[in-house]
Amino acid sequence: MTYKNLYPNIDVRYYSEGGRLKYDIVAHPGADISRILLKYEGAEKLSVKNGQLIIKTSVGETKELSPYSFQIINGKKKR
């Protein structure tokens, strides 16, 4: 599922990979990436450990890997 123009020239794409929810923030030419904000509702605590964001809630913890950027050039993902 893709939400187009969540911010001007910025889309967010949600998908599943290996049974986990993932998302990509897609910045198109002219996008102002400084406008991107993430808010974690219901989180009791946020911390960073080994480059991962640890999100503690009343029902347990979840982790987000470090963000990275890439371009798709000639059909191949380049970091």
- pLDDT tens for each residue of 16-57: 988 888 999 999 999 999 999 888 899 999 999 998 999 999
CA separation for the pair 53, 66 (Å, rounded)? 7
> How many distinct structural domains can be found in the chain?
1
**pLDDT value at residue 19:** 86
Instruction: Give the pTM.
Output: 0.72
Q: Is residue 54 part of a domain?
A: yes
Q: Is residue 34 part of a domain?
A: no
CA separation for the pair 71, 39 (Å, rounded)? 25
Residue 77 has pLDDT above 90, yes or no: no
**Structural domain of 12:** 2-28+40-68
Q: Is residue 79 part of a domain?
A: no
**pLDDT value at residue 67:** 84
Q: Is residue 59 part of a domain?
A: yes
CA separation for the pair 55, 62 (Å, rounded)? 5
* Rounded (to 5) percent helix, strand, coil in the chain: 5, 55, 40
Count Cα neighbours of 46 within 13 Å in the Cβ-side half-sphere.
8
**pLDDT value at residue 8:** 95
